[in-house]
Amino acid sequence: MDVFLQALALSFTPMAIASIGLGALVGLVFGSIPGLTFTVALALALPITFSMDPVPAIGLLLGTYIGGMTGGSVSAILLGIPGTPSAAATVLDGYPMTKQGKASIALGTAVIVSVFGGLFSLFIMMVSVDLVSRLAIGFGPAEIFALVLFGMSTICGLCGNSLLKGLIAGALGLMIMTVGLDAIDGVPRMTFGSINLLQGVNLLVAMIGLFAVPFIIEAFSGRGSQDLQTTRVAKVRAELPSLKLLFGKFSLMLRCSVLGTGIGAIPGTGGAIASFLAYDHAKRFSKKPESFGKGNIEGVIAPEAANNSVTGGTLIPLLSLGIPGDPATAIVLAGLMIHGITPGPALFMNHAVEVYGMYVAVVLAYVWVLGLQLMGIRIFVHVLKIPREMLAVAVLVLCAIGAYSIRNSAFDIYAMGAIGVLAYVLVAVRIPITPIILGMVLGPTLENEFRTAMMLSEGSFDIFLTSPTFLVFFALALLVVSLQVAAELKLKKKTSERIEMTDA
Amino acid sequence: MTNRAQDIIVGTVLFLVGAGWTWLVIDSIPPGFGDGEVGPRAFPMAFGLILTVFSAILLMTRIATGAETALAEASEDQDIPNRLDWGSALLVLGQIVLYGFLLEKIGFLLATPVVVLLVMIVSLRVRSLRKLLGMSLGLTVGCWLIFEKLLGIYLANGTWLNVG
């Protein structure tokens, strides 16, 4: 209780409340603009947090994440274009509702169920983070190695549309992080005598490059720009749904939130998969399945409850095991580490106050999102009218500020540019970015834990083979990969419609 | 260019990258001493080999499926692949590099309007004087106020020339 009160005190400072609000606002804006995802917002917001205290800093990042997840529904409902891939399922019924003149109620319902889904998943997260970290407290290097290996295999398998390309991307990410001084022996690796390369590729620089630069290039090349200016954004406000409607759909909201939290907890999945599954679920259990796609409010409730409950789900493996499930949580992880908070089983022992502060920050972020969406939607739809190219110019300046401020070195700006162009090329040739970033985040852990384990066992593989936990996770990793291979071989005969599944 | 042709090029390039990387690693990093010491070389080498093997698989499956679908004449290969706009990509890279260089030399307050003007004139072909001045001065002053003054983040000072 004492710890909780301390956490409350930390998160109710004016600075913390303001930074959570700023995060929620930035997230909502970035989330609602098609092409700019909340991952870009997070990458750009990260350098700002350096000078802050831990709780406001993490609050800013969480606010951005949560705001972005919610903001995607605005353009999905009003324009029929998902602001983020997570909101793609919301288009199916949200946009028809706008055409029928019911945009206000669709937006209001979307906000309410988003907040419900988010808070529900927060509750589940609070219980399970504690449980999972209690289980994981006994993990040694061999077990952590297996866990990271399992995380990597689900990420590579699930986030793209080809396992092979996912694995290739994962290997690329792992390779990039081996550049620089080796953490155990201090040997320079692949530095070619460059002093700048000795400390390796900076993770934050790489994140800004990977997510923001491809957006700039695409905006400048004049493609992919949906003519937003020509689409008239109707005059809207967010209208709260009646309590009767909410109570009537309560069981659907609950089921979709459970689904979203569960999907979110599996690394490599994410909002898009969860919201499509929830939409499908709602349609299957509906009394009037034929009305789906024609403006059924259930088709807005299901995906919005699910994609916001993903936010709590992804934080479970992140906080309890230190494994981020998607690029957004990888950036949150980087933010935590900058402030000396290392997620993992020991998190509660070392940083209980900050963790409870994070929980409070999530609640505050939802309060902000609710307020901003309900009050500010009329002002905020005008953001959708700003031309993409002008936003890209601003993003370019922000990228440079972000990359420069990390180490005050222009080398980082050059590196960001190079990585960004590489990312643009990789996206164009359909190699997913998510495994690269997660390979970069998890690579050093993977290597260090394996080498520590081998040192402990004096070179014998017994340390792995005698650990049941290792064997279970290793078997799970193999299972995920082989299931994915089987599914792809089956699918090869059919042509399938592709849906972009990441928020990268 | 079809998806298949694109994949074959990607597979070849990545195969060469993987093989080159592995060779460089073996050439330049000392191995461990044995006795449980895995050494700094093992992991970069393993990752390089993984990339080499997987891109080889990609290359081979694409060559093989391509032959089949050429007969069937209907497959996902008929999709129009994403077009790569090398011009824009390299232009943006050039602009970023120039920005980084200018930041160190003439500082944030001078480099930003110069680069923003350049980007808007060259990449976006904006000719309206109002837009050009508004964006370049607005962005510079706005960022300077928010980052330097409000958040206390250090923005570059120039070594050749320094304002602010």
What is the overall mean pLDDT for chain A? 87
The label of the residue with tokens 């001078």 reads: B110
Whole-number pLDDT of residue A122: 95
Minimal Cβ distance to A400: which of B61, B75, B100 = B100
Give contacts of B157 with chain A, Cβ < 8 Å.
none
What is the token pair recorded at A265?
Answer: 């907890």
Q: Domain of residue A93: give its range.
A: 2-491
Alpha helices in A203-296 (DSSP H): 203-220, 243-248, 250-265, 271-285
In a domain, residue A504? The reply is no
User: If pLDDT is split at 50, 70 and 90, which confidence band does B17 have?
Assistant: very high
- Residue A57: closest C-alpha in chain B: B151
Whole-number pLDDT of residue A495: 47
pLDDT of B81 above 70: no
In a domain, residue A144? The reply is yes
- Residue B97: closest C-alpha in chain A: A414
Helical (H) or strand (E) element with B21: helix B3-28
* Domain residue ranges of chain B, discontinuous segments joined by +: 3-78, 86-150
Q: Is the ipTM of this complex over 0.90?
A: no
Annotate B36-103 with DSSP letters as a single string. Answer: TB-TTTHHHHHHHHHHHHHHHHHHHHHHHHHHHHHHH--SGGGSPPPPP-HHHHHHHHHHHHHHHHHH
Higher pLDDT, B49 or A481: B49
Minimal Cβ distance to B116: which of A393, A421, A459 = A393
User: If pLDDT is split at 50, 70 and 90, which confidence band does A183 have?
Assistant: confident
Q: Are the C-beta atoms of residues A129 and A315 closer than 8 Å to each other? A: yes
In a domain, residue A233? The reply is yes
Q: Are the C-beta atoms of residues A251 and A386 closer than 8 Å to each other? A: no
Q: How many residues does chain A have?
A: 504
Q: How many domains does chain A have?
A: 1
Instruction: Look at B153 and A51 and tell me if their CB atoms are within 8 Å.
Output: yes
pLDDT of A162 above 60: yes
pLDDT of A62 above 90: yes
Whole-number pLDDT of residue A225: 47
Instruction: Look at A396 and B76 and tell me if their CB atoms are within 8 Å.
Output: no
Mutation choice for A interface testing from B7, B54, B96, B104 by most A CBs within 10 A: B96
pLDDT of A493 above 70: no
Calculate mean pLDDT across residues A155-164: 79
Whole-number pLDDT of residue A492: 67
Q: What percentage of chain B carries pLDDT values higher than 90?
A: 46
Whole-number pLDDT of residue A400: 92
Instruction: Look at A190 and B6 and tell me if their CB atoms are within 8 Å.
Output: no
Whole-number pLDDT of residue A260: 94
Higher pLDDT, A305 or A83: A305
Instruction: Look at B100 and A217 and tell me if their CB atoms are within 8 Å.
Output: no
Q: Are the C-beta atoms of residues A481 and A157 closer than 8 Å to each other? A: yes
A446-449: list long-range contacts, CB under 8 Å, 24+ apart.
A446/A145, A446/A148, A446/A149, A446/A152, A446/A174, A446/B43, A447/A178, A447/A183, A447/B43, A448/A183, A448/A184, A449/A141, A449/A142, A449/A144, A449/A145, A449/A148
Whether the CA torsion A193, A194, A198, A204 is positive or negative: it is negative
User: What is the C-alpha to C-alpha distance for residues A461 and B114, in angstroms, rounded to an integer?
Assistant: 59
Query: A355-406 pLDDT, tens per residue?
Result: 999 999 999 999 999 999 888 887 777 777 788 888 889 999 999 998 998 8
User: If pLDDT is split at 50, 70 and 90, which confidence band does A503 have?
Assistant: low
In a domain, residue A503? The reply is no
The residue type of A383 is V
- Residue A460: closest C-alpha in chain B: B36
What is the token pair recorded at A286?
Answer: 């509906």
- Residue B99: closest C-alpha in chain A: A400
What SS3 class is residue A199? coil
Q: What are the distances in angstroms from CA A198 to CA A174, A191, B20?
A: 17, 6, 20
What is the token pair recorded at A56?
Answer: 């406001």
Give contacts of A394 with chain B, Cβ < 8 Å.
139
In a domain, residue A440? The reply is yes
Whether the CA torsion B29, B33, B38, B42 is positive or negative: it is positive
The residue type of A268 is G
pLDDT of B79 above 50: no
Whole-number pLDDT of residue B118: 93
Q: What are the distances in angstroms from CA A425 to CA A388, B6, B62?
A: 20, 11, 19
Higher pLDDT, A387 or A236: A387
In a domain, residue A428? The reply is yes
Give contacts of A418 with chain B, Cβ < 8 Å.
93
Whole-number pLDDT of residue A234: 56
Instruction: Look at A174 and B47 and tell me if their CB atoms are within 8 Å.
Output: yes
Instruction: Look at B58 and A168 and tell me if their CB atoms are within 8 Å.
Output: yes
Instruction: Look at B93 and A223 and tell me if their CB atoms are within 8 Å.
Output: no
